[in-house]
Amino acid sequence: MDPCPFVRIVIGNLALKFPNPSKPTFSGVHPTSTPCYCKIKFKNFTSQTTTIPLIKTDAAHPEHPNSILQSASFTLPHSHIVKLSKSKTTPVLKIDVYKGKSGSTLGLSSGKLLGRVSVPLDLNCGLESKGAVFKNGWVAVGDGGAKAAQMYLSVKAEPDPRFVFEFGGEPECSPLVFQVQGSVKQPVFTCKFSLRDNNFRSRSSISESSVSRTWLSSFGQDQKENSSKERKGWSITIHDLSGSPVAAASMVTPFVPTPGSDRVSRTNPGAWLILRPGDATWKPWGRLEAWLDRGHTNTLGYRFDLLPDATASSVAATLATSSVNVRRGERFQLDNSSNMSAASPSISPRGSGDYSCWHELRRGFVMSSTAGRKGGGPEVEVGVKHVSCTEDAAAFVALAAAVDLSVDACKLFTKKLRKELRGGQPQSGHGVV
């Protein structure tokens, strides 16, 4: 498998200082009591907001762009880079700096604008192969001259190649899964959706062992009491083109409404077990919990835990706890590039199940996928350094399928699901093995 070229624009090492920080009268800012933040904007991307630490005028600040403490990033696929590089105007990164707390009151920003910093980005400098540093140092905020606040920032571009996969349809329709390289799509996996009981039993050549049964029985203790309203027993198995199963996702905790409501809540989430083959059995790799965010009908909350080995007493490592707004097209993310993100796992080779070094966490982008996309199945991006074999890629594909199916599982129970999810034989699509 060959990856697609991506480039990530990274912004970080932020700091702010004022000419006379000891005087609280300067712009109403005092470094010990006044918070500051900024909105970082780049053409055709959603703006990102982050806090800026205030430091004393004579304080030292690291000037090492290769070790950026990241505050924001924008990821550009090859086609986007080409389009911007051919533009008659140089693309510019804009950073608006505010004093006060971030947020809004009655639709109005609660912060006061101090000024703007602009950084031109030259995208014609071989970014996909070697990257580039656009800014690393202090810059004046706005047009205040010698009296202006000074902002330290690092802005660089770094290659971020990714494998891109696309489901040929909704996961419940058992579609083919394609690897995408530009305009070329090549089938690499098939997937089979099934409605089963909550104890996962493979219909493939891989059988259960006492270890996998221990895991499943352990998770089974979390299963909720039977309800007339529940969505349970969904599973999806990913096969390679030879027909061998290479990953699976099984719903191990039913999705049921919180008592007195018609919605799955964070206090009562449903859960999936993501499995990989190893030693002639399925071995747990990760656990996904999902729920519907309070007060929203289109926002899926989620938590993903890495399961470091195949013993029920092992402590899971939480890699992500966040939410994704399906209506706005936001993506499920496993990413340890920003300051607040969780770390990503070190993937073991060839599905060996040896996670003894799982604590050796890697930084950077791990994966992202769409969820609940109308008219098609999930689109999945996986960082190259996290894929060393087919089973690695398949595990992320299975996780993406579980996220997508969770959107349906978390729908209000007053809503009717499509027939493939309600019982009987699932609709067969291409590539069913």
Q: What is the pLDDT of residues 137-161, one digit of tens each?
A: 999 998 766 678 899 999 999 899 9
Clarify whether residues 150 and 172 are in a common domain. no
Contact 191, 236 (CB under 8 A): yes
Average pLDDT score over residue span 374-397: 92
Band (pLDDT 50/70/90 cuts) for residue 362 is very low
Question: How far is 297 from 332, CA to CA, in rounded Å?
Answer: 17
Domain for residue 220, yes or no?
Answer: no
> Which residue in the block uniquely carries the two structure tokens 């970014």?
127
Question: How far is 255 from 301, CA to CA, in rounded Å?
Answer: 13
Percent of the chain with pLDDT over 90: 49
Band (pLDDT 50/70/90 cuts) for residue 423 is low
Average pLDDT score over residue span 351-357: 37
Contact 292, 270 (CB under 8 A): no
Clarify whether residues 172 and 90 are in a common domain. no
Clarify whether residues 370 and 265 are in a common domain. yes
Clarify whether residues 116 and 176 are in a common domain. no
Domain for residue 295, yes or no?
Answer: yes
Average pLDDT score over residue span 234-250: 97
Domain for residue 345, yes or no?
Answer: no
Nearest to 238 by CA among 397, 350, 2: 397
Asked whether the whole model's pTM tops 0.85, one would answer no
Clarify whether residues 244 and 335 are in a common domain. yes
Average pLDDT score over residue span 236-243: 97
Residue 412 has pLDDT above 80, yes or no: yes
Q: How many structural domains compose the chain? A: 2
Clarify whether residues 235 and 154 are in a common domain. no
Clarify whether residues 242 and 306 are in a common domain. yes
Question: How far is 169 from 219, CA to CA, in rounded Å?
Answer: 30
Pick from 211-225, 252-266, 316-330: least confident:
211-225
> Which residues, at least 6 apart from 149, have a Cβ–Cβ distance to it below 8 Å?
16, 17, 18, 19, 27, 29, 97, 114, 115, 140, 141, 142
Domain for residue 171, yes or no?
Answer: yes
Clarify whether residues 127 and 175 are in a common domain. no
Clarify whether residues 276 and 155 are in a common domain. no
Band (pLDDT 50/70/90 cuts) for residue 348 is very low
> Which residue in the block uniquely carries the two structure tokens 């996670």?
355
Clarify whether residues 321 and 385 are in a common domain. yes
Find the domain containing 135 and state its range: 6-20+34-58+68-102+109-159
Domain for residue 277, yes or no?
Answer: yes
- Give the number of residues written for the chain: 433
Clarify whether residues 294 and 250 are in a common domain. yes
Nearest to 362 by CA among 348, 375, 381: 348
Query: Residue 198's Cα: distance from chain center in Å?
Result: 27
Domain for residue 375, yes or no?
Answer: yes
Pick from 12-26, 347-361, 379-393: least confident:
347-361
Give the DSSP H/E element, type plus range, for residue 353.
Answer: none
Average pLDDT score over residue span 78-92: 87
Question: How far is 94 from 361, CA to CA, in rounded Å?
Answer: 32
Average pLDDT score over residue span 11-24: 77
Clarify whether residues 132 and 82 are in a common domain. yes
Nearest to 76 by CA among 125, 7, 129, 126: 7
Domain for residue 175, yes or no?
Answer: yes
Domain for residue 349, yes or no?
Answer: no
The residue among 109 and 106 whose pLDDT is bigger is 109
| Res 351: pLDDT | 37
